[in-house]
Amino acid sequence: MAGFPEVMDKLVSLCKRRGFIFQSSEIYGGTGSVWDYGPLGVELKKNIKDRWWNAMVRSRDDIEGLDAAILMHPRTWEASGHVAGFTDPLVDCKQCKARFRADKMDPKKLEANVCPNCGNKGTLTEPRLFNLMFKTFMGALEESSSVVYLRPETAQGIFVNFLNVQQSARQKVPFGIAQIGKAFRNEITPGNFIFRTREFEQMEMQFFVEPGTDMEWFEQWKALRMQWHLDLGLSPERLEFHQHTDTELAHYARAAFDVTFDFGGTLGHQEIEGVHNRGDFDLSQHQQYSGKKLEYFDQVNNKRYVPYVIETSVGADRVTLAALVNAYREETVEGESEGRVVLGLKPSIAPIKAAIFPLTKKDGQPEMARKIVDDLRGAFPVDYDETGSIGKRYRRQDEVGTPFCITVDGQSTGDQTVTVRNRDSLAQDRVDVSQLKGYLAGKLVD
């Protein structure tokens, strides 16, 4: 396997060249740590989001979906603690103007006041607190009364809608609310491609439970979420739990574990998802700040209480990066001088499911191949390619993770069969065209 950060550099270049991910506003020189998903990237990320939605919402009757607005009442962020506390301690170098997060710096360098960038001594400022929320203005006048924030997490849209959802969907505790949406953080040290960006997407679920049953549910959600990452195809040896220590634990949190993924090299094991037992902190805060009761009435036992919340919070972009890093491999091919790059994505999340090639541009082969494309298109995303040698066409598809390549050859127009080549095993099956859709469908489910 190729080393790291080499792999990340190669991925950045592959993603741009093949249309997975582009730097935002590239023609203007780019925007700091904001990325755009191209034709293949948008499919990959959508497949990952759909998997999450299916696992969390569609396949369960105790979780409801929600799509709350990005802009919320500013009091929300006072209640949640983000106005007062969503800060990173910042250190600037007066010499080279580099900026660092004090909590992520080598404590020895911080203590000795030596800039990690230019190496000068005594040029670092004292740590200052910097709020990560993006501020903007609502309405025509830039007055302080109309300041609003771009949400730094999707969770608060769920908390403020707790009773709306519970009552309209007639749910009983325990139940959950899930949503996928954009979040914004003015990160000081963004980077590592789409690992830490200033605009990103979260997939969050808050599960409301009766106090006293919370640790049981917490354990259940921990296990379910780890299984989801394994089902996505992430290698078991790259996944771990990291338990928050007392110093890492938010003051209101009763327990917190991160699911970490080993990105390799200098990045190493990093959080991709957080599973938290938040107690009744959020609902109680919103009760206090809004003056509206956010209690649940248990009709069976005739009692009222503020539920506890088990939260699962995962970044769609960060998991997409994990899937890409996990899938990237370089291989030698027997009998060929050139190796191949393969994105060994699970077929169900691959952006293109099958590519169809006529072996030559004559003898009715392109027409037959086009007809196969038309037949399959309604069922799966497919690609047609007639340019270059077959070998080159295979390489192009391997590199973007297409699990199957279908070739129409001299025999095909006669007996209505085609070859189907498997991306990973390189095995080729001869399949009757009339059976093709069923053949592929059987291999694309997991």
Chain positions contacting ligand ATP, by CB under 6 A: 153, 185, 187, 196-197, 200, 202, 271-274, 313-315, 317-318
Q: Rounded to an integer, what distance in angstroms lies between the CA atom of residue 124 and that of residue 116?
A: 10
Angle at 114 between CA 110 and CA 120, to 5 degrees: 160
Least distance in angstroms from the C-beta of 57 to ligand ATP: 18
Rounded to the nearest angstrom, the gap between the alpha carbon of residue 129 and the centroid of all alpha carbons in its chain is 28
Answer yes or no: are the C-beta atoms of 316 and 200 closer than 8 Å: yes
Q: Rounded to an integer, what distance in angstroms lies between the CA atom of residue 4 and that of residue 124?
A: 30
Rounded to the nearest angstrom, the gap between the alpha carbon of residue 245 and the centroid of all alpha carbons in its chain is 25
Question: Distances from the Cα of 279 to the Cαs of 218, 224, 242, 283, in angstroms?
Answer: 11, 20, 20, 9
Residue whose CB is less far from ligand ATP, 160 or 440:
160
Least distance in angstroms from the C-beta of 253 to ligand ATP: 11
Answer yes or no: are the C-beta atoms of 159 and 282 closer than 8 Å: yes
Residue whose CB is less far from ligand ATP, 153 or 262:
153
Q: Is 430 helix (H, G, I), strand (E, B) or coil?
A: strand
Residue whose CB is less far from ligand ATP, 285 or 412:
285
Least distance in angstroms from the C-beta of 68 to ligand ATP: 16
Q: Rounded to an integer, what distance in angstroms lies between the CA atom of residue 284 and that of residue 277?
A: 14
Question: In 72-141, which ranges are continuous DSSP H helix?
Answer: 75-79, 82-85, 107-112
Question: In 197-254, which ranges are continuous DSSP H helix?
Answer: 214-231
Q: Is 71 helix (H, G, I), strand (E, B) or coil?
A: strand
Least distance in angstroms from the C-beta of 150 to ligand ATP: 13
Residue whose CB is less far from ligand ATP, 314 or 420:
314
Residue whose CB is less far from ligand ATP, 37 or 357:
37
Q: Rounded to an integer, what distance in angstroms lies between the CA atom of residue 90 and that of residue 188?
A: 8
Answer yes or no: are the C-beta atoms of 137 and 143 closer than 8 Å: yes
Residue whose CB is less far from ligand ATP, 274 or 347:
274
Shortest-Cβ-distance residue relative to ligand ATP: 315
Least distance in angstroms from the C-beta of 313 to ligand ATP: 4
Least distance in angstroms from the C-beta of 282 to ligand ATP: 13
Residue whose CB is less far from ligand ATP, 171 or 313:
313
Least distance in angstroms from the C-beta of 8 to ligand ATP: 15
β partners of residue 131: 87
Least distance in angstroms from the C-beta of 58 to ligand ATP: 22
Residue whose CB is less far from ligand ATP, 47 or 202:
202
Answer yes or no: are the C-beta atoms of 47 and 403 closer than 8 Å: no
Token pair for 382: 């497919």
Q: For residue 346, how many C-alpha atoms fall within 13 Å in the half-sphere facing its CB?
A: 18
Least distance in angstroms from the C-beta of 357 to ligand ATP: 37
Q: Which residues lie below 8 Å from residue 286, measured CB to CB, with a gap of 6+? A: 76, 79, 159, 160, 292, 294
Residue whose CB is less far from ligand ATP, 271 or 363:
271
